[in-house]
Amino acid sequence: MSSFSHEFAGIGRNQSLLDKSRESIVPPLVEAFATALGRFDDALFDRAERAGNSQGAFLDGMRELRRRQEIGGRYRDHLVKAWRSLDRGSRFRWKMP
């Protein structure tokens, strides 16, 4: 089986269009992800108020989401790395930290 880079390298490649696409796509994705994290925090707070004895699990989740800057940064880094792979014409392999 041929690799992604072999199949698509240089075929109809327009670097300027790829750059413009990245500039118009990555920032809104990062912003949408940050917004979603904020909504998750609100939802966890609401659920924690009604959870009774299992409130701790929701509060733990909220504490983790307080690291939004770090989580959002890692998401942004992931998108940038994936886009660089696209620029190079290679397959991006995501690795768990």
Is residue 28 a part of any domain in this protein?
Answer: yes
Which H or E run contains 76?
A: helix 68-88
CA distance 57 to 54: 6
- Here the tokens at position 21 are 């696409």
Is residue 33 a part of any domain in this protein?
Answer: yes
Is residue 97 a part of any domain in this protein?
Answer: no
Is residue 68 a part of any domain in this protein?
Answer: yes
Lowest mean pLDDT among 14-18, 25-29, 49-53: 14-18
Residue 1 has what pLDDT? 45
- Residue 75: which domain range? 4-88
pTM: 0.66
58-97 pLDDT tens trace? 888 888 888 888 888 999 999 988 888 887 776 666 665 5
Looking at the 3D structure of the chain, how many domains does it have? 1
**DSSP alpha helices (H): ranges in 13-67?**
15-50, 55-65
